[in-house]
Amino acid sequence: MTLLIAGRSGQLARALTAAAKARGLPAFALGRSEMDLADPASVRAAVARLRPAIVINTAAFTAVDDAETRKADAFAINAAGAGALAAAAHGAGARLVHVSTDYVFGTGAGPRLEGDPVWPLNVYGASKLEGERRVAAAHPRALIVRTSGVFSATGQNFVTAMLRLAGTREEIGVVDDQRTTPTPADALAGLLLDLARDPRPYGLLHAAGMEAVSWAGFAQTIFEGARERGLPHARVRPIPSSQFPRPARRPADSALGSIRLRGLAGVDGLDWRAGLARALDALAAAR
């Protein structure tokens, strides 16, 4: 049962590769040089060459602020590219799992459920929402999984960013009026493989941390764990988002409710506190 992972260097792609290896599942993680989502011919050629039984799309233009000035690039990868991969997977008879984002939501309070209205506040969210629509149109049995705040011990994410900043300052201002549901990449990868190998679930599914938290609260928990392990840590100074202006507007509350996940996989969400402990343990062991 060959697995094609769209994306190679991202933290979720790495976690999927490791999880597939642990399960003895042949997996090919393709970076942009091997399969460019902005080039439909490249996508079709890669799928035809590997003839996968499962395709998991983790590849995306994820630079949220850069997307505001690079709208064409964001839509080429997140929308048109996602649709092209879905069409190729459908043509090959492959199971498709497409990873999307909480940023398809706009104003309002969480937890956000699969049937809630969507109205992205930024270009990145709009491109991912269009990607969801194109994937569903091209592959009627695709599973579209929205997640949020993915983190791990590697790559660029909130955990590694906080620890990096803590190496240079004693106090860090972190927004306290925006909520999310942090999601450990390793746990998400295992769940995605389980769902990918079950042909029954399709449509929209939320899979994120089981507990909502503000970014400042998340940072505080990170530094508490980092202190215990001798890792860089700092004081958290909660600030309103108005004091940290960014090019792309963020939703104040994009926490995801994983209610449907409970029916499919028997869990309400993914335990981000346990995932954070694993990530910090790995970072401490690597010092």
Max CA distance (Å), the chain: 54
* Residue 96 near residue 86 (C-beta atoms within 8 A): yes
Q: Which residues contact 25 (CB under 8 A, 6 or more apart)?
A: 1, 3, 193
> Could you tell me the two tokens for 119?
């109205």
SS3 at position 256: strand
**Residues belonging to the active site:** 124
> Could you tell me the two tokens for 104?
């398809």
Burial, 31: exposed, middle or buried (Cβ in 10 Å; 0-12, 13-18, 19+)?
A: middle
- Encode 214-242: b = buried (16+ Cβ within 10 Å), e = exposed: bbbbbbbbbbebbeeeebbbbebeebeee
End-to-end distance of the chain based on CA atoms, in angstroms?
Answer: 37
SS3 at position 218: helix
Burial, 107: exposed, middle or buried (Cβ in 10 Å; 0-12, 13-18, 19+)?
A: exposed
In whole angstroms, give the CA distance from residue 238 to residue 219: 10
